[in-house]
Chains A and B, each alone.
Chain A
Amino acid sequence: MARTLFEKVWSAHTVRTLASGQTQLLVGTHLIHEVTSPQAFGMMRDLGLKVAMPHRTFATVDHIVPTDQVSEPYADPLADAMIKELRKSCAESGITFFDRSTGKQGIVHIVGPEQGITQPGTTIACGDSHTSTHGAFGAIAFGIGTTQIRDVLATQTMALGKLKVRRIEVNGRLRPGVYAKDVILHIIFTLGVNGGTGYAYEYAGDVFERFSMEERMTVCNMSIEGGARAGYVNPDETTFAYLKGRPYSPKGAQWEAAVAEWRATASDPGCAYDDIVRMDAAEIAPTVTWGINPGQGIPITASIPDPAKARGDERASIEEALAYMKLSPGAPIKGTKIDVAFLGSCTNGRLSDFQEVARFLKGRRVAPGVKAIAVPGSQGVGLLCAELGIDKVFRDAGFEWRNAGCSMCLAMNPDKLVGDQLCASSSNRNFKGRQGSPTGRTILMSPVMVAAAAVTGSVSDARDVFGVSAN
């Protein structure tokens, strides 16, 4: 019988059915970091449990590492304590730790793929909701809480209810100046921030077939912003080419065997889905958010919604969002003055993101009064950018070029908005207070749109600013 990738991977990793009816699912790869995992080791100690499969567990530090300080102890004693706690627990348990001294540290969702740890047909769990990123490789990857991290550490399994599968096809061609980030913001806007509850999203169609692995990761990354716990793209030649030769990728005869298995993991032609949604790529515009959740987005050419024209619930949501964002109903979003430009995060902190921006940023300057920071997603990304001279382009333009980490995406480190500053951000969430100030404001957009905002000092259409035409 024809099956989806989800179905195949789920069944290959099913250990047994638990009394509650949930599945005991084998977690092939467990990724851990310093914010949600140290507490799990404490819970293990309380129960007298040990790490079951340390060789299938990989750690790094990303959420709270300062991006402008390398030497320890860090200025923030709490951050310093959490990192030391994780380092100690990993050493005691024999877990590979991509620490800053290894040159392989970075945002966990960038490090996994970069190292070749993220592979098709696998299950991946991590105490971070953006774990869905790894689905770009045809893995079933999802975020978990700390008690579940304890479960995975102790048993390499967890209790989970099976998800339904919705196939989202985006067909046709994207217009020039429209990026993967715009595709996912458009999907979330169309299906809603809770439209994916209970589903894994299978992204497919012309656009995804043409996308690079990094573009696929950007889309899968924000699945959770649409309520879907997991999102994936079927593995293909693009996937295999990306993985070949990476440190943890299979080698020699193992490589051929693995590729054959990976190929067979893809959804079968004619398999049944719980739901199918089709979208036209040509209808997607450079998209920006205007509100306080990632579903509150509009094309850059559109006006800010007017609550007077909405009804009931929607009216209340728009009013709440506009009051927080200090934006005027009916006004164009274009021209909204910004204070900060942030380029980075697990959504858009990869080499191609910085490469694409550098193409346009050369010879430009960040507008006076705008604080612009660029944060490579990993030390590996930082190194490649340095080799290609990309960091210099950013610095020459007036960006601060930082060390790897999550940085101002969630502002657990010293990179924070101040007061009600407005940030043009390539990250994934525009929740109230998300970027570190209780009144700070976030507008989500693609990296090139962040660059356009940085050089003009206001939310702008990058196609006009940089003269993007059919390329």
Chain B
Amino acid sequence: MALEKITRVAGRAVNVPGNDIDTDRIIPARYLKCVTFDGLGEFLFYDVRKNADGSDKPHPLNDARFKGASILLSGANFGCGSSREHAPQALQKFGIRAVIAEGFAEIFYGNSVTLGMPCVAASREVIAAIAAAVEADPGTVVTIDVANQRVSFAGRVADVSVRESARDALINGRWDPIGELVDGASDAAAVASKLRYMTA
């Protein structure tokens, strides 16, 4: 299974500020009732984007200026809470290709990378600078250089960080590990055969 080598992500950005944005907020539990992930983009950030009657609330993702943005900016501990893959799936189905935040919750991070969606950590100052550039000109193209852990925007370049295992997996096109895991099947069986509870 040949996967895309994700060495860079470039696009317009949208800032969804705040710390500890949890996966219930990214996609409320009532929209998890699905047997496939298709169509989840519609419910992204639903309760903060929509009123009870389905009309729009003021929210960056509803702002026409940021329509079509593919890079999401946010604060610390993004994606905390539930392990629901519906959260990164909803982001991806909405059109988001990468997230730049001050930090990420563990499970969300792993789920996102497995979908080929880089999670990039940046300092608060860098995120504020990107957000300011985007606010001043929503057409600003933000380019994440995954391989070299840099972000460039509006003539500026700043350092960002991607976990080494994620960076390796993304740039070498092995972010979905299934092929490699299947290749290890006989090794796995050998390890299992040594464990009492797995053979009983």
Residues 170-200 of chain B: 1 if any A CB is under 8 Å from the residue's CB, otherwise 0? 0010101110111011011001101111101
B150 within 8 A of A: no
> Do A194 and B76 touch across chains, with their CB atoms under 8 A apart?
yes
A329 to chain B, nearest CB (A): 19
Cα distance A411–B177 in the bound complex, in angstroms: 33
A52 within 8 A of B: yes
Task: Select one of B25, B110, B187 contacting A432, CB under 8 A.
Answer: B25
Cα distance A44–B86 in the bound complex, in angstroms: 17
Task: Select one of A81, A131, A155 contacting B182, CB under 8 A.
Answer: A155
> Do B197 and A148 touch across chains, with their CB atoms under 8 A apart?
no
Residues from chain A with a CB closer than 8 A to the CB of B84 are: 35-36, 145
A400 within 8 A of B: no
A194 to chain B, nearest CB (A): 4
Listed stretches B5-13, B26-34, B63-71, B135-143; interface member:
B26-34
A190 within 8 A of B: no
A108 within 8 A of B: no
Listed stretches A278-286, A367-375, A433-441; interface member:
A433-441
For the complex, count residues of A whose C-beta is within 8 A of B: 82
Closest A residue by C-beta to B190 = A15
Residues from chain A with a CB closer than 8 A to the CB of B25 are: 431-433
Residues from chain B with a CB closer than 8 A to the CB of A258 are: 196-197
Task: Select one of A36, A52, A155, A411 contacting B83, CB under 8 A.
Answer: A36
Residues from chain A with a CB closer than 8 A to the CB of B197 are: 28-29, 119, 121-122, 250, 258
For the complex, count residues of B whose C-beta is within 8 A of A: 63
Q: Of residues 1 to 50 in B, which have CB atoms within 8 Å of A's CB atoms?
A: 1, 18-20, 22, 24-25, 28-30, 32-37, 47-48
A256 to chain B, nearest CB (A): 12
B123 within 8 A of A: no
> Do B169 and A20 touch across chains, with their CB atoms under 8 A apart?
yes
Q: Of residues 412 to 430 in A, which have CB atoms within 8 Å of B's CB atoms?
A: 412, 429
Residues from chain B with a CB closer than 8 A to the CB of A229 are: 106-107
Q: Of residues 258 to 280 in A, which have CB atoms within 8 Å of B's CB atoms?
A: 258, 261
B105 to chain A, nearest CB (A): 6
Residues from chain B with a CB closer than 8 A to the CB of A376 are: none
B149 within 8 A of A: no
Residues from chain B with a CB closer than 8 A to the CB of A438 are: 28, 47, 52
B99 within 8 A of A: no
Cα distance A24–B187 in the bound complex, in angstroms: 10
> Do B107 and A317 touch across chains, with their CB atoms under 8 A apart?
no
> Do B77 and A194 touch across chains, with their CB atoms under 8 A apart?
yes
> Do A20 and B177 touch across chains, with their CB atoms under 8 A apart?
yes
Residues from chain A with a CB closer than 8 A to the CB of B163 are: 161
Cα distance A313–B167 in the bound complex, in angstroms: 30
A91 within 8 A of B: no
Cα distance A39–B40 in the bound complex, in angstroms: 13
Q: Of residues 99 to 134 in B, which have CB atoms within 8 Å of A's CB atoms?
A: 103, 105-107, 110-111, 114-115
Given contacts A82-B33, A119-B197, contact A193 B80 (CB under 8 A): yes
> Do A197 and B30 touch across chains, with their CB atoms under 8 A apart?
no
> Do A154 and B181 touch across chains, with their CB atoms under 8 A apart?
yes
Given contacts A13-B191, A39-B36, contact A148 B77 (CB under 8 A): no
Task: Select one of B20, B52, B195 contacting A28, CB under 8 A.
Answer: B195
> Do A317 and B20 touch across chains, with their CB atoms under 8 A apart?
yes
> Do A22 and B165 touch across chains, with their CB atoms under 8 A apart?
yes
B95 within 8 A of A: no
Residues 109-143 of chain A: 1 if any B CB is under 8 Å from the residue's CB, otherwise 0? 00000000001011000011101000000000011
Cα distance A76–B184 in the bound complex, in angstroms: 41
A298 within 8 A of B: no
Residues from chain B with a CB closer than 8 A to the CB of A350 are: none
B197 to chain A, nearest CB (A): 6
A26 within 8 A of B: yes
Cα distance A313–B76 in the bound complex, in angstroms: 10
> Do B80 and A14 touch across chains, with their CB atoms under 8 A apart?
no
Listed in ascending order, the chain B residues whose CB lies under 8 Å from chain A are 1, 18-20, 22, 24-25, 28-30, 32-37, 47-48, 52, 76-77, 80-86, 88, 103, 105-107, 110-111, 114-115, 163-166, 168-169, 172, 174, 176-178, 180-182, 184-185, 187-188, 191-192, 194-198, 200
Which 9 A-B pairs rank lowest in CB-CB distance, beginning with the nearest?
Answer: A145-B85, A145-B111, A143-B83, A438-B47, A78-B33, A194-B77, A129-B83, A159-B177, A146-B85
- Jot down 30 A-B pairs with beta carbons below 8 A, ordered by A: A19-B168, A22-B169, A24-B177, A24-B181, A42-B36, A49-B182, A53-B192, A56-B198, A82-B34, A85-B35, A144-B110, A148-B111, A151-B177, A151-B181, A155-B178, A156-B192, A157-B181, A157-B184, A157-B188, A159-B181, A161-B163, A193-B77, A194-B76, A197-B105, A227-B80, A250-B196, A250-B197, A254-B200, A320-B18, A411-B30
